[in-house]
Amino acid sequence: MERLEGVVRPYAWGSRTALASLRGQQVPSAHPEAELWFGAHPAAPARCVRSGDQGMPGTDLLSVIRSDPVHELGAGSMGRFGERLPFLLKILAAEEPLSLQAHPSLVQAQEGFARENARGLAIDAPERNYRDPWHKPELVVAVTEFDALAGFRPPARTVELLRELQVPALDPYLGLLAGQADCDGLRAVFTTWLTLPENAIMALVPQVLEGAVAVLESRNTEFTGELRTLLELGEMYPGDPGVLASLLLNRVRLRPGEGLYLPAGNLHAYLHGTGVEIMANSDNVLRGGLTPKHIDVPELLRVLDFTPVPVAELRPTVRTLGAERIYLTPAAEFRLSQVELDGTGLRRSQSISFDMPGPQMLAVLGGTIEVRTAAGDSATVPAGSALWLAAGDPDVVVRAASSRATFCRVLVPVSQRAGAVEGQVPAAPA
């Protein structure tokens, strides 16, 4: 059992208040704080907080796992994923929109990683797409109201949106989608927009933005959210083809506790809000716009899934077991749940017990929890911190150490009996 301190990633789109407030730090922070990483990714492994550290840098979770992978990960996880933690947990706080992006499949990641290694690209090179040989399916669960673009909207609905704009320059694309309302039509329009010459983009985007303003000022529309997002992106990234691409995507608003699952190849962009993000342990991102970072349109086009998807199909199945809300997804690397405990004894559950079928992590989103093992060890974990529970640790009981406590739990959803796992994930190349 290890208490963890997350690593703050200071990306420009982050919030100066959300993560600082969560961790009890000075608000506003000195710089934007975008993500708080709790995991064992080599780029930013979580720090283990131990009583003897006395303010000095201690060890990190990656080192702990490498020192005894059998105890830390267990037979089931190791049998499927090897001597590495298969998930990465983040708390994400977006004050501004993130890039238009997608993540590769496992095979695409392995091939891309090998290809860039053969080219001699350094792992931290700005132009590198594949920083590891792993895929990155991910689930985000809203902590606050959370806005995103995710997945290609069914083309018939996009045709309605383009008609609403009444921009003659969009007519060729509207006609293409109306006549080919499937993934091939979406691929054709998206590819054309992202590869238009700069002068064509600079001419088309302002016309589309003017059309959006005219609609919003003159009449009610069911596409208000989509058009306001279009204008926001157009103001931040004038002349960026990603502004046009936003017209093809589902506009999603999550309420606290609602989730969104993004498989490989799903085009998305988080817009605003704070959420818990759980993903396979990877940092591979293919970007197509809405960012000053490296953009690789040909590689993005290679990995994208253009299949139209209604928002409902991106929502995880939620199962409630007492105080625990479990978010079920197809991902083999993780299972996320959220727990609310009451420390007053007047309402809700006061405590919850967890057995140890494999490695687990508890990250506190509000209040403070106390965790006790069957062996009598205990740890107190405040908001903004996490607790690592090794596969070989005793079972635990978690109770609220404040009037109310909310935390998320992540585990690897595999049996810990050696040989009990089906559907092995192929090993990545060295």
Listing DSSP states for 153-216 in one string gives: PPHHHHHHHHHHHT-GGGHHHHHHHHH--SHHHHHHHHHHHHTS-HHHHHHHHHHHHHHHHHHH
What is this structure's pTM? 0.92
213 — phi, psi (to 5°)? -60, -45
> Strands across the sheet with 368-373, in order?
351-354, 396-400, 368-373, 378-382
Q: With contact defined as beta carbons under 8 Å apart, do 389 and 379 qualify?
A: no
Q: Are 210 and 202 in contact (CB under 8 A)?
A: no
- Token couple for 106: 């496992």
Chunk the chain into consecutive blocks of 10 residues (it has 430) and report each block's average pLDDT, rounded to whole numbers: 96 97 96 98 92 65 96 95 97 98 97 97 94 96 98 97 97 96 97 97 97 95 97 95 98 98 98 98 95 95 97 95 94 96 73 86 97 92 97 94 96 60 36
Out of 84, 131, 251, 287, which one is annotated catalytic?
A: 287
Distance in angstroms (rounded) separating the CA atoms of residues 79 and 86: 12
**pLDDT score of 80:** 94
Task: Tell me which long-range contacts 125-132 makes (C-beta under 8 A, separation of at least 24).
Answer: 126/293, 126/294, 127/294, 127/296, 128/294, 129/284, 129/285, 129/286, 129/294, 129/296, 129/299, 130/104, 130/284, 131/43, 131/282, 131/283, 131/284, 132/282, 132/283, 132/284
Q: Tell me whether residue 128 is one of the annotated catalytic residues.
A: no
* Per-residue model confidence (pLDDT) at position 322: 87
In the numeric block, which tokens belong to residue 285?
Answer: 């991102």
* pLDDT recorded at residue 347: 59
Structure confidence at residue 345 (pLDDT): 66
Q: φ and ψ at 205, to 5 degrees?
A: -60, -50
Phi then psi dihedrals of residue 162, to 5 deg: -65, -35
> What domains can you pick out in the chain, each with its CATH number?
2-74+83-149+254-291 (2.60.120.10), 152-250 (1.10.441), 317-411 (2.60.120.10)
Distances (CA, A) of 394 to 14, 239, 352, 359, 391: 38, 57, 15, 11, 8
